[in-house]
A and B are shown apart, each in its own frame.
Chain A
């Protein structure tokens, strides 16, 4: 490895880097908000960073009067059901991997974790054909299966690590009291795993909320599409109306940003844990 002879960046340099990155991350958001309240002609007539003479909220009103709430409802439905299923299935599997001795335990665990490298795109055509055959094409239900399946490898990985750290004595004590595997799972492991389950829920919830390609391919009408597709569909509708498009982007991003401001620490922890071996 190259070993630079210079000292570590001084405080001033670090401060500068912090400032530059702050501008780089926030300015696009400022631009988005600012442009979304301009009138269409103002976009071309007044300087980019200037405030509009009159704030024009008609874009927001138009979007909210349109099908925005249908997209929102679909997103909430799909993400809630998929996260719940992911939590259930991955905690059950993690319990088996972490605490039950059976032949192929290590092999199967490795196989499940290897699922992490499968690109969504390889499964796209077959899942699309399957969805058509099952008659659930263009319904929110079409998204639940792929969302849960693609969340399982990372979730099982995180929860298995988590459950392995639960002391054996707790398990043995419960077994002496006559607890079977089912009781052990629901009464001991699930309650003790709450922080892990929260992590998995947050990490997958954010990913599913923002998912694009499955929602794009497996649904086609606003009646069954999720929020990221609202942006896409509005773009087709308002191709030249930049403020209207950016108003949609702002509105679709708002729910997660609001959640983030409330549960900032938790969400950062959740994303951290998800990223560790993601």
Chain B
């Protein structure tokens, strides 16, 4: 009844009117979320770029507009370049260690099946700990005097191998990366376990019926099936490595003398220890650009890889 009358009075076709009202409903449902994303993600992103054009110590109206000066300086800043290099190394080693280890352990848990609840509980424990907690525990684990690593080496009469793991500039970064792996391998294990769980059993059964060996099934069926998950893992670990902060900050603060500096620790020190807001904003904006480009490239190349296989 009512639709007929409204169709008569309004010149707009019914279908069109329905779409209009739907747009309003959509707006009402979306607005709160979009508002919050705007205030805490989009606006800060733009503000960071604007701040990067200033020379400002964060106090009062002392800000000076300096154009791209901070950006020019950033390109020649050896600390920043070291930080990028360390982030790159972190990404490389994360991908090379965490993803294969996660894969192997996921296969293992998958095979162990129901009996593995106990293993799962213990294996995933690191995922529940905060990075501050993990960093603090491992600072003691690495301690040159009472830490279990050096104690073990001494007990095995390998005193020469006992080191100041976090205090030695050439060991600090590898020592930190080892803990990064400890913290993140369970995550990739979980990711691949989820991928394996979504694999239809018929796939394997059909191959078995066709007389395929276990090895052939692994390389020809299981791994290709996990391709999408592996791609996700690659992108995640790349993005994650480029913005790594908590654990490194807690364990070494980026030191000793910049040996384990990454972009985020450098940015933090610049802003909240040296009060160089403009320069810190340039570092953080550069970080965003690097992450965005890396993510874009990773998504594109891994997708191309998929079509080739």
Contact = CB atoms under 8 A, between A and B. Distances in A.
Please determine whether chains A and B interact with each other in the same assembly. yes
Interface of A: 3, 7-9, 14, 17-18, 21-22, 24-29, 31-32, 35, 43-44, 47-49, 88-90, 92-93, 95-97, 100-103, 105, 108, 112, 115, 117-127, 129-130, 145-146, 148-150, 152-153, 156, 181, 185, 206, 209-213, 217, 227-229, 231-232, 235, 242, 245-246, 249, 252-253, 256-257, 260-261, 264, 268, 271-273, 275-278
B258 interface: no
Nearest to A103: B23
B277 interface: yes
B281 to A, nearest CB: 6
Contacts of A256: 128-129
B65 interface: no
Interface string B156-184: 00000000000000000000000000100
B60 interface: no
Contacts of B147: 48
29 contacts: A14-B108, A26-B122, A26-B125, A28-B138, A28-B182, A43-B146, A44-B146, A89-B36, A95-B29, A100-B29, A102-B27, A108-B34, A123-B45, A125-B271, A127-B40, A150-B40, A206-B127, A210-B129, A212-B130, A228-B133, A231-B133, A232-B132, A246-B137, A249-B136, A257-B128, A260-B124, A271-B124, A275-B190, A278-B236
Interface of B: 19, 22-23, 25-27, 29-30, 32-34, 36-37, 39-41, 43-45, 47-48, 51, 101, 104-105, 107-108, 111-112, 117, 119-133, 136-138, 140-141, 143, 145-148, 151-152, 155, 182, 185-187, 190-191, 193-194, 197, 214-215, 218-219, 229, 232, 236, 239, 242-243, 245-246, 250, 263-264, 267-268, 271-272, 277, 280-281, 284-285, 287-288, 291-292, 295
Contacts of B232: 276-278
Contacts, number: 261
Given A117-B291, A122-B285, A272 B130 contact: no
B25 A100 contact: yes
Given A3-B219, A242-B146, A276-B191, A121 B268 contact: yes
Nearest to B126: A25
SS class, residues of chain A in contact with chain B: helix
A93 B268 CA distance: 33
Nearest to B195: A276
Contact of B121 (A93, A122, A261): A261
B33 A101 contact: no
A206 B280 CA distance: 29
B51 A93 contact: no
Contacts of A18: 105, 108, 112, 119
Nearest to A181: B25
A239 to B, nearest CB: 11
Contacts of B26: 96, 100, 102, 105
A26 to B, nearest CB: 6
B45 to A, nearest CB: 6
A125 B130 contact: no
Q: In this complex, which of A48, A122, A206 has the most chain B Cβ atoms within 10 angstroms of its Cβ? A: A122
A145 B219 CA distance: 46
A253 B133 contact: yes
A48 B124 contact: no
B264 A119 contact: yes
A112 B37 contact: yes
Contacts of A126: 43-44, 47-48, 51
Given A100-B29, A268-B190, A121 B128 contact: no
B44 A122 contact: yes
A206 B125 CA distance: 12
B133 A125 contact: no
Contacts of A121: 243, 245, 263-264, 267-268, 284, 287
B218 A8 contact: yes
Given A24-B182, A276-B232, 19 more contacts: A7-B215, A18-B112, A21-B105, A21-B185, A22-B122, A25-B122, A35-B140, A48-B146, A112-B37, A118-B288, A120-B245, A121-B263, A126-B51, A129-B47, A153-B37, A156-B33, A212-B246, A231-B133, A278-B236
Contacts of B218: 8
Given A89-B32, A115-B37, A47 B151 contact: yes
Contacts of B119: 18, 22
Given A22-B119, A112-B37, A227 B130 contact: yes
A108 to B, nearest CB: 7
Contact of A228 (B34, B132, B245): B132
A56 to B, nearest CB: 16
